[in-house]
Amino acid sequence: GSGADAGDRGARGRVRLGELLVNEGLITVESLGKALASSAATGTRLGRVLVQSGAISEVSLAKLLARQLGIPFVNLEQYDFQPELVKLLPEAAARRHRAVVLERRGADLLVGFADPSDVNVQDDIAQLLRNPIAVAACAEHSNQLTLRVRAQCCNGRAQAVGRMRIIDKYFGAIF
């Protein structure tokens, strides 16, 4: 839609991202209008346009997407990764879909996505994992995540070298 209908409810009845951003006071109606125009002109998602322009942070975007979609937000910078779960998702798929397996939740695997709104990607990941998934939103992060994950997974443990290889392989450029 256009800037005029940015406040309308989306097809599934949930509040649109632009409306949430304005209601939270994170952007102005004018900024939203410009971002919507840019999004329409370039085919880039609204959230990505706003992050690239510096209007909002990656973390703010991920938290709002989580609220919009009714899913958890996971801060990867403070997350206790389980390398045995991380490696379940092939590296190429993890990079392509900007996704990481976080934990088991009953029969499901909780998977963090940089874009948790893409249902087709979620279906692909569930097929690759051969397991039902639950979805979480994650910020696309800075390079510091890799250092924090390494420090966390390799904190004086005997398997430090193996874990570093896993982290290097799966987190080097995923996010």
Please give the full DSSP string across 139-166, using - where no structure is assigned.
Answer: ----THHHHHHHHHHTSS-TTHHHHHHH
Residues 24-78 pLDDT 10s:
899 999 999 999 999 999 999 898 899 999 999 989 999 999 998 999 999 887 7
CA-to-CA distance for 129 and 151, rounded, in angstroms? 27
Res. 5 pLDDT band, cuts 50 70 90: very low
CA-to-CA distance for 129 and 116, rounded, in angstroms? 17
CA-to-CA distance for 143 and 114, rounded, in angstroms? 15
Q: Which two tokens stand for residue 27?
A: 């952007």
Res. 161 pLDDT band, cuts 50 70 90: very low
Q: H-type helices in 28-82, by residue range? A: 29-42, 46-52, 58-69
Q: Which two tokens stand for residue 14?
A: 């949930």
Q: What are the angstrom distances between the C-alpha of 77 and each of 25, 49, 143, 146, 152? A: 25, 23, 10, 9, 10
Q: Which residues of 10-46 are buried (b: 16+ CB within 10 A; e: fewer)?
A: eeeeeebbbbbbbeeebbeeebbbbbbebbeeeeeeb
CA-to-CA distance for 63 and 42, rounded, in angstroms? 24
Question: Per mean pLDDT, which range of 5-9, 97-101, 111-115, 152-156 is the poorest?
Answer: 5-9
| Percentage, residues of the chain above pLDDT 70 | 72
